[in-house]
Structure 1
Amino acid sequence: MKKIFSFAQKKRQSPSSSLASPRRDCGVRASGRNAGYLLRDKDLGKLHKATSVRDVAKVQYLLLLRKQDLNDVDKVKRTPLHLACANGYPDVVSLLVERKCKLNLCDGDSRTPLIKAVECQLEEYATILLEHGSDAHLVDANNNTALHYAASGLNKDIAAKLLKHKTNIEAKNKEGYTPLLLAITENNHDMVDFFLENGADVNASDKSKRRALMIAVSCEPTGIVSPIS
């Protein structure tokens, strides 16, 4: 695969490189710690508010009263578990999971708490969810699995755990990108090698029939995936 990157770099430096197709959106948001939810009081119920400020005692109290269901969704379809996973609150995540909350409910963008945890690069919470039975095969509104977000965020440890739970390494999002092809757009040799070592298909193509080499050639030198709203 390194030969592919080396060849792609030579193509960029040659006069004909300007003829390459412009890089396209790959259908996945940029991952990272700043990928959490926008929180507005008007969207949140009591349990969601307590979760969003890490008030564990209030969460326990509301659940004890049984006036708040731990699977209730707010006005934009997020469960308390979604908020806890995105905001990085391990004690709240553990509490909700121990109370047998539903792990695979989707927010307004069809993202499960697992997908959100991986998008925010929070490995600890992704691990908790996987160990308690979160479905790693589910996809968001753009057909991205959690593994696509791991590839976008360049996190091999999270990717390895997802593969251990039998995530489909060849899953394609709406743009036809597999996690391997996403790693190529990021110009991240280590992540590309990781997917190849785990059996990813180097001949996979996106919906425009571009394979790994063509994508490597057409990528911008920075390899930064443009986020989409």
Structure 2
Amino acid sequence: MSTRVRFSEQRPNVAYLPASATSQVSFHILSKPLPPIRPENAYQMDLHTAASIGDMISLQEVVKADSTSVARRNLYGWTALLYAAYLGHEPAVAFLLDKGAKADECNDKGQTALMLAAACGNLKVVNLLLERGASVQRADDRDRMALHYAAVCSQNEIAELLLKAGSDPNARDSSGNTPLHDSCVAGHELTVLCLLEKGADPSMKNSNEEDAAALVSDNNKLMKLIDDYNKKNKAKTDRKGQSSGSGSGNGSAHSLSRLLEEMNLGRLTEKFKKENIDFNLFFELNEKDLDEMGIAYGPKKRILTVIERYKKSGMEGVAAETEGHQAGQRDQLRTSMEYVRQMNEKGKQMALDALNLLGPESTDERIRQLLISIIDCNEKITARLVRHL
């Protein structure tokens, strides 16, 4: 049997209380004999307890005495395998699998051994379960897979292992959350990076219409990580679009549409489509052509600048022009946000002044609460704006 913890080698003292002559109940209780003290080896540990502490000797004894105990469940549907996997006892997991335990058996919540081991970061157990055929596609009663458990618990090594085994990085649970959503909420950079590198889509939204960026708005490092990924992914998409632009008409139209969007002229896409102007023909247009199409002066000037840059330096010049335009827009937005922040601070100060003028002796508690709410609202607006400045 396993070693037990004792604080003393002596048997506990037994205190006898004198029975009260006036209390027949006390006399009856105290007159009963104490239960006999049996040797420790007279008791056998149950399989679930043995699995939870990794006691291999007890496991072997219980299974030898009753082979059906391997599949036995407790009140909450847990088997010995689930306990062993959850608490990271690899030898116990291997033994139970050898004795007939099913790798994908689950508890009353639909949680499998793989999910529990993934949540706790038990790398060896996860490896063993995958080798023994545990499915990475199994979902619990909330449609959460093992990868969701690894992501929400910041287990990036486990996540990488599950992704290599074929787990879907964009699988949704019942709330629409993907593993990337979970890792963003957990705020773990390595897990987020691992998922992005394996194809997780940061633009996917959950049931609350939140994408990855929305969930990390308070974390500047993760915001930058997702922003860098989006830029890199966009550059790859643009290169593919350029190569397809020299081929089929559909590819050219798609590239022209994207180019117009980057120039903030997406509203003109339909106009060019009606004139049968594709990506290649676009760069042959001149001022007269644009006048005949009814293009306004501002957009016309921007289009002619892009065409001129294209003729001089190819698509790199076009990219530089569109990026320059976007940078200008970002600067304008930043300036506007700074102005809003300053005015918001002024509004907060005026509310504070009004609160001071109201004084503690005022009996109109409604006005006081209204001013406090305005100040609180101002502080929240300022906090939100500062993240993007």
Q: TM-score, normalised by structure 1?
A: 0.71
Match of 1:176 in 2: 176
Match of 1:61 in 2: 61
Q: What residue ranges of structure 2 are gaps of 5+ in the alignment?
A: 1-44, 223-389
Structure with the bigger RCO (C-alpha within 8 Å, sep 6+) is: 1
Distance in structure 2 (CA, Å) of the matches to 1:90 and 1:105: 17
Distance in structure 2 (CA, Å) of the matches to 1:169 and 1:97: 28
Q: Does 1:154 align with 2:154?
A: yes
Count residues with an aligned counterpart.
178
Distance in structure 1 (CA, Å) of the matches to 2:202 and 2:64: 52
Per-residue displacement from partner, 1:130-182 (whole Å, max 9, x unpaired)?
11100111112222111011111222211111011111111111221111112
Per-residue displacement from partner, 1:165-211 (whole Å, max 9, x unpaired)?
11111111122111111222223333222111111112111012222
Match of 1:91 in 2: 91
Distance in structure 2 (CA, Å) of the matches to 1:86 and 1:182: 20
**Which entry has the higher C-alpha Rg, 1 or 2?**
2
Distance in structure 1 (CA, Å) of the matches to 2:129 and 2:62: 23
Q: 1:191 to 1:88 in 2, by over 3 A?
A: closer
Q: 1:52 to 1:202 in 2, by over 3 A?
A: closer
Distance in structure 2 (CA, Å) of the matches to 1:51 and 1:188: 31
The share of aligned pairs that are identical, in percent, is 26
Distance in structure 2 (CA, Å) of the matches to 1:88 and 1:183: 22
Distance in structure 2 (CA, Å) of the matches to 1:190 and 1:67: 43
Match of 1:17 in 2: none
Q: Does 1:107 align with 2:128?
A: no
SS of the residue aligned with 2:69? coil
Of 120-129 and 50-59, the range deviating more from structure 2: 50-59
Match of 1:77 in 2: 77
Larger helix proportion of the pair: 2
Per-residue displacement from partner, 1:13-52 (whole Å, max 9, x unpaired)?
xxxxxxxxxxxxxxxxxxxxxxxxxxxxxxxx92213223
The one-letter amino acid paired with 2:112 is T
Give runs of aligned pairs for residues 114-125 of structure 1, distance below 5 A.
114-125=114-125
Match of 2:189 in 1: 189
- Following superposition, the deviation at residue 220 of structure 1 comes to 7.5
SS of the residue aligned with 2:50? helix
Q: 1:206 to 1:100 in 2, by over 3 A?
A: same
Of 117-126 and 60-69, the range deviating more from structure 2: 60-69
Match of 1:21 in 2: none
SS of the residue aligned with 1:173? coil
Match of 1:199 in 2: 199
Of 197-206 and 54-63, the range deviating more from structure 2: 54-63
Q: Does 1:144 align with 2:144?
A: yes
Q: Check whether the contact 1:170–1:178 (CA below 8 A) recurs between aligned residues.
A: yes
Q: Check whether the contact 2:153–2:186 (CA below 8 A) recurs between aligned residues.
A: no
Q: Check whether the contact 2:176–2:207 (CA below 8 A) recurs between aligned residues.
A: yes
Q: Check whether the contact 1:47–1:68 (CA below 8 A) recurs between aligned residues.
A: no
The one-letter amino acid paired with 2:182 is L
The one-letter amino acid paired with 2:89 is Y
- Following superposition, the deviation at residue 107 of structure 1 comes to 0.9
The one-letter amino acid paired with 1:114 is L
Give the alignment's Cα RMSD to 1 decimal: 2.2
Distance in structure 2 (CA, Å) of the matches to 1:195 and 1:177: 14
Q: What residue ranges of structure 1 are gaps of 5+ in the alignment?
A: 1-44, 224-229
Q: 1:199 to 1:107 in 2, by over 3 A?
A: same
- Following superposition, the deviation at residue 95 of structure 1 comes to 0.7
Distance in structure 2 (CA, Å) of the matches to 1:51 and 1:210: 41
Q: 1:188 to 1:50 in 2, by over 3 A?
A: closer
